[in-house]
Chains A and B, each alone.
Chain A
Amino acid sequence: MSKKRKKAQDLIITEVKNQLLLQAERWGRKDYYTPLKLEEIELEQCNKIVGEFLAEKSNLEYELHMLESDKKDVLAKMERLQIYLAKSARVAKKHENNIGKIIQQKIGDREKINAAVNKVDKKSAISVLISDN
């Protein structure tokens, strides 16, 4: 696909998102669609697409084994589907990483937080052993 076409597609997608967010703001949902929320929506749709691809794969397998159709054609479709499945898994992984990064930014440095928590909650030095006797 040419760069120009891809750029145009990205522009349209961004414009659709901005318009919908503006409408939501006008209806009173100002801080509802945060970057985290949008990433979660994208991840959800990615997983939906993966599910659809897996369903298509099972249909193709059935067609390959059970039905008397052109096997070369079916095999070519299955190969292409495998590539798309791998790509969709990568995209889903990317969104998961983005979500992790956003959460990490909100939480902050884990080590510092653990140290602070340990200072506040002092663990007791006495340990009690409970036995059956």
Chain B
Amino acid sequence: MSTDFSLNSGMARDKLYGLSKLKQQNQQQVQEQQQQNQVMQQPATSTIQWTQAAQAVEQVGNQNVQNQARGLEIQAPNLEDVAMLTSTVSTKEESIAHMVGQKIISHLGINVGALKEKFKEYYRQSKSHNLLLERFMANVKMSGLNAMLTLAGLSADEIEHTKAEVREEALKEIDSKLQQDWAYAKAMIEIVG
């Protein structure tokens, strides 16, 4: 059989009929895949749909190769066409990674509230006057906790808000300590001796 497909009046009738049937079947398959590739309005599935679409294209591509081996050439939609085929895209923030992260956190039995408290504590210690403690907390523990908190579902805004709260508390404490522990003590030592 020739590799190029072309409808020729000189071809045998049964062969022509068979080839046209095959072409119809392939067109039906492509239409079904296009329907599958349409993105539904479902949350947290945007990444999966793109991967599904890519897999569908690959399958069609593989089929294309098989058809070429049989001597047929069928135009299958490319990856660029898949982008054009999808009309709507889900833009919700919560993605598969978030859901998986929350599942992992709940499976490990980690309390998000306790994690938040630990984060506040370590953030406080990461600004300590003790150089070793400050470096260790800031580089090791904070980076780990940040990752855990994002996995648990806390947004960057929430983390920043928590950090601002801790900062306010710490500055108030420093102010009161300067007044009480330093200035008052110094004055009493000067007066009383």
Contact = CB atoms under 8 A, between A and B. Distances in A.
Q: Do A and B interact?
A: yes
Interface of A: 1, 9, 13, 16-20, 22-24, 26-29, 33, 38, 41-42, 44-46, 48-49, 84, 87-88, 91
Kindly state the interface size class of chain B when it binds its partner: 20 to 34
Given A23-B128, A26-B134, A9 B189 contact: yes
Given A24-B171, A46-B187, A16 B181 contact: yes
Nearest to A12: B185
Contacts, number: 72
A interface: dominant SS = helix
7 contacts: A16-B182, A18-B129, A29-B171, A42-B186, A44-B183, A48-B184, A49-B184
B186 A13 contact: yes
Interface of B: 127-129, 134, 167, 170-171, 174, 177-179, 181-193
B186 A49 contact: no
A87 B193 CA distance: 10
A42 B182 CA distance: 9
Contact of B170 (A17, A23, A48): A23
B172 to A, nearest CB: 11
B174 A24 contact: yes
B185 A13 contact: yes
Given A20-B174, A49-B184, 6 more contacts: A16-B181, A16-B185, A29-B174, A38-B183, A44-B179, A46-B187
B189 A13 contact: yes
A45 B191 contact: no
Nearest to A19: B129
A84 B192 contact: yes
B187 A20 contact: no
A17 B178 contact: yes
Contacts of A24: 171, 174
Given A13-B189, A88-B191, A91-B191, A42 B183 contact: yes
